[in-house]
Structure 1
């Protein structure tokens, strides 16, 4: 049986962006770079389908960003981000390697956030699974002791306790999942629009053209465009100071990513505490109803039969 890969999908996409950046910076043509990447991947590599589609599109002279954006799976958002960066760089004549390195940094930051949340969720989920298994252990232990715990579940009171316990267990599971979803960052690429604007301006585009190109690309790939005001403020600052805007934009994008990472870390820390609530309110009472009550009923029924 094949073991599940614990690496977040966005980090696999980040690795592709980094390797592509190195190849392009070394003077390899884009079509050949995609081909080399495709040939270096095994058939079971999670990024193989997206890279193969991009390589085929590049070899045929077709739209590579569109091929990447069509990729599905857990890394679909990451592929759309990569597609937007390539599209903006191509449209504005910007250096692609630098854009890909910046995007890889963004994706790795998202991957680390996903790792942090998974670490916080691991303990409560393991506890819930253990508690769900304990009723079976309790029933089996009662049978070994000679108590009719299985038959107790068929009695009206035992059946009612079992149904209530199952409902509580399901409620606790859904409650925990909802808390986890709330703690998961909704922005698939914080600072992306600012990064796209920086890419466009590094290719010589004017401020208005860069903003328009970045926003249009983000919209075409269904990516968040919430950083438009931040990009405009940075460009205005650069124009007043008479300095290149692209560097300031990259610095602003890094700040946005740091803020998003800090917020995600705080949310993950709060999640570790809040997950104890459904565990205590739903899961532990469910254990009592599913594990302890049948054993007690079995003891009582066996005692009555003994008399």
Structure 2
């Protein structure tokens, strides 16, 4: 599959629920690659060589698991397996670019452009962390290890939200099948509801109106589900990037300059987190304590708050999905399931007279 097709598949990816299910897998797959890099760097492997080793290992894994992954795709199977294979492609592109002399952070950002949305966000954050650690002089291996744990937290937030959304989404899908069930029920009772629906003027009117209502319901449901999902994977990560910059021993102004450049490059600028950052730095200065740990704790708190907000939206979704059900699906059920049955009964009654 070409890069363009893979990116299109990851970005569009079927139903909204299908995209939702893959988000945690995308982020956890990136975290796994970052964790391996951290281990290699801690063992004394130079960064460029660490990427090359990681790429060689991912290529071997791809060859061994190709048949298994293909079977998973055909069966609609393991999202984690598919996403891990996608991340292997990113690693190989980074290793190739670094081998050609490109800066590692720029190579990561460039390779991320062919990923699906949430993988791209996660890799852009890794590029930002790498840039901040390199420019500030922070220990790269430890920074990557900490950042890998942060990505795991973000992935867990996504997975929790996916579980909370699963029930209302499944209910909405099942209710959309009501008109088809009603149509089949009429046919089982012995009435020619299909002929009535497609071959009579009242039936065609019911068919058109019912189909329009189902299309409106499907679009409405998709919009409600999209509004209930987290829009970004970056909650609290600008605070973590500042913590990385501070751990390198740079002055406050220098660390903030480095972190802000990385935040803008990763497109995770947030006025709310900027205010939290100012509050934490002010507290650390007044108390005379290191700011890095306070920043990490504040970043974790921001992710917990994002999880709570997402769970609240997921709980409200179950109620909001009743609107398209009542205004679109049930009328469509009457038009496509009940009305043809009544028309058939009336027609057969008058014919028999």
Q: Same fold per TM (> 0.5)?
A: yes
- 1:73 is matched with which residue: 116, 119, 122? 116
- Partner Cα distance (1:135, 1:211) in 2: 59
What RMSD in Å do the two structures reach over aligned CA positions?
2.3
- 2:35 is matched with which residue: 2, 7, 18? 18
Q: Using a 3 Å threshold, how does the CA distance of structure 1 residues 258 and 167 change in structure 2: closer, same or farther?
A: same
For structure 1, the residue ranges without an aligned partner over 5 or more in a row are none
Contact 1:135–1:287 (Cα < 8 Å) also in 2: yes
Q: Residue 274 of structure 1 aligns with which residue?
A: 320
Q: Using a 3 Å threshold, how does the CA distance of structure 1 residues 65 and 38 change in structure 2: closer, same or farther?
A: same
- Partner Cα distance (2:153, 2:217) in 1: 31
- Partner Cα distance (2:253, 2:219) in 1: 46
Q: Residue 60 of structure 1 aligns with which residue?
A: 100
Q: Using a 3 Å threshold, how does the CA distance of structure 1 residues 295 and 38 change in structure 2: closer, same or farther?
A: farther
- Partner Cα distance (1:304, 1:25) in 2: 86
Structure 1 stretches of 4+ with a deviation exceeding 4 A read 4-7
Q: Residue 174 in 1 paired to residue 219 in 2?
A: yes
| 1:157-306 to 2 correspondences below 5 Å | 157-226=202-271, 227-306=273-352
- Partner Cα distance (2:89, 2:146) in 1: 23
Contact 1:128–1:283 (Cα < 8 Å) also in 2: no
Q: Residue 96 in 1 paired to residue 130 in 2?
A: no
Which deviates further from its counterpart, 137-146 or 218-227? 137-146
- Partner Cα distance (1:117, 1:298) in 2: 46
User: Taking structure 1 as the reference length, what is the TM-score of the superposition?
Assistant: 0.89
Contact 1:113–1:265 (Cα < 8 Å) also in 2: no
Q: CA deviation at 1:57?
A: 2.2
Contact 2:186–2:337 (Cα < 8 Å) also in 1: no
Q: Using a 3 Å threshold, how does the CA distance of structure 1 residues 245 and 116 change in structure 2: closer, same or farther?
A: closer
Which structure carries more helix by proportion? Answer: 2
Q: CA deviation at 1:140?
A: 4.1
- Partner Cα distance (1:229, 1:51) in 2: 35
Q: Residue 40 of structure 1 aligns with which residue?
A: 57
User: Taking structure 2 as the reference length, what is the TM-score of the superposition?
Assistant: 0.78
Q: CA deviation at 1:247?
A: 1.6
For structure 2, the residue ranges without an aligned partner over 5 or more in a row are 1-17, 63-81
Contact 2:161–2:307 (Cα < 8 Å) also in 1: no
Q: CA deviation at 1:67?
A: 2.3
- What per-residue deviation string (whole Å, max 9, x for no partner) do you get for residues 2-40 of structure 1? xx8855311211221222222222222212221222223
Q: Residue 153 in 1 paired to residue 197 in 2?
A: yes
Q: CA deviation at 1:86?
A: 0.5
Q: Using a 3 Å threshold, how does the CA distance of structure 1 residues 298 and 111 change in structure 2: closer, same or farther?
A: farther
Q: CA deviation at 1:141?
A: 4.4
Q: Using a 3 Å threshold, how does the CA distance of structure 1 residues 280 and 124 change in structure 2: closer, same or farther?
A: farther
- Partner Cα distance (1:179, 1:144) in 2: 35
Which deviates further from its counterpart, 172-181 or 206-215? 172-181
Q: Residue 183 of structure 2 aligns with which residue?
A: 139
Q: Residue 28 in 1 paired to residue 45 in 2?
A: yes
- Partner Cα distance (2:236, 2:220) in 1: 31
- Partner Cα distance (2:92, 2:205) in 1: 55
- Partner Cα distance (2:270, 2:146) in 1: 17
- The DSSP-based 3-state class of the residue aligned with 1:8 is helix
Which deviates further from its counterpart, 113-122 or 63-72? 113-122
Which deviates further from its counterpart, 250-259 or 127-136? 127-136
Contact 1:187–1:224 (Cα < 8 Å) also in 2: no
- Partner Cα distance (1:34, 1:82) in 2: 13
